[in-house]
Structure 1
């Protein structure tokens, strides 16, 4: 991901004081990779500098929610969890980071 893909939503913080960042998910990357890349981009660090995602969510379960073969018959999936000081929300197309 490059910096142009991470954009703040609105010019001001939300009513609750949080700032929202959104990035489009790379269709060729897993949900896990997309989350780690998005957080690393916002934090301006390399993915390896972040805490292990597996300490807060099962990466296989996260990826399983968004794998194409597993989604037959499901409505649009949306999953949220806390990671690195953000509430991360993942959908088929987007990773959003809300500052907690």
Structure 2
């Protein structure tokens, strides 16, 4: 699999060793939920065991970037931030975790 391929959920083996996880966002899940699920899966913990996401980014703002009614003019939106030792990148369709 090359670095441009995305699996429905799981670890990606690719040439870019800094990307350690890439997952398609579920259509009905908010960006915040998608991030928490991705990090929890990589860390092999329950979502409740993770640090509060709101300590590093405003969850309402994160969700607002990708909400259906708010997307006009933002179809290529990409947002990155650091959380739990990963650089998390969120797009309309994908959550990617990279090592810093």
- Scaled to the shorter chain, the TM-score interval is 0.7 to 0.9
Moved over 6 A (4+): none
| Other-structure match for 1:52 | 52
Greater shift, 32-41 or 72-81, is seen at 72-81
Across the aligned residues of Structure 1 and Structure 2, the Cα RMSD in angstroms comes to: 1.5
For structure 2, list consecutive stretches of 5 or more residues without a partner in the other structure.
Answer: 1-7
TM-score (normalizing by structure 2)? 0.86
Figure out how many residues of one structure are paired with residues of the other and give that number: 93
TM-score (normalizing by structure 1)? 0.86
For structure 1, list consecutive stretches of 5 or more residues without a partner in the other structure.
Answer: none
Q: How big is each residue's C-alpha offset from its partner over 1:47-92, in whole Å with a ceiling of 9 and x where there is no partner? A: 0000000000000000000001001123411000000000000000
Name the CA distance, whole Å, in 1 between partners of 2:59 and 2:47: 15
